[in-house]
């Protein structure tokens, strides 16, 4: 069953699948009309909702590196230690997941790392305090 729609570009009537409409799609009658909506000149530069100040990702990373040199150095040393085998990733301190990220409580100690899964790492930063759970194997 198709849902009757009107193309936002050319005004032609067409049928769209219900799941496409539900997902916010099904606004254009063809790929050609869809491409014309993607390149909207009224949304270039600062008018674009994704505008990030005119900097590329590389430039933003460089600025972050300059703004937080201690944080950058701690991450760099941790990454190199992992590659050399001097530092081994451990399971998440909270849930035991093997998919972990390193968290530094103190950037002046780059190899003192807490291993947290993505979920608990985000939770930790939201709370701005140590994780409020008992780590596995520690009572």
The pLDDT tens digits for 79-88 are 999 999 999 9
How far is CA 79 from each of CA 5, 74, 113, rounded to the nearest angstrom? 52, 9, 11
- Residue 132's pLDDT is 46
Here the tokens at position 51 are 């505008």
pLDDT band at 139 (very low <50, low <70, confident <90, very high): very low
Percent of the chain with pLDDT over 90: 50
């Amino acid at each position: 069953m198709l849902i009757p729609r009107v193309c936002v570009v050319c005004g032609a009537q067409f049928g769209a699948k219900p799941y496409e409409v539900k997902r916010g799609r099904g606004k254009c009658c063809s790929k050609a009309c869809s491409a014309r909506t993607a390149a909207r000149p009224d949304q270039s530069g600062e008018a674009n909702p994704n505008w990030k100040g005119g900097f590329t990702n590389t430039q933003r990373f460089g600025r972050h590196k300059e703004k937080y040199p201690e944080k950058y150095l701690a991450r760099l040393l941790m990454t190199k230690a992992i590659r050399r085998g001097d530092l081994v990733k451990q399971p998440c301190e909270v849930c035991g997941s093997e998919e972990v990220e390193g968290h530094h409580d103190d950037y002046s100690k780059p190899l003192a790392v807490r291993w947290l899964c993505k979920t608990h790492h985000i939770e930790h930063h939201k709370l701005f305090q140590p994780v409020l759970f008992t780590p596995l194997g520690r009572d």
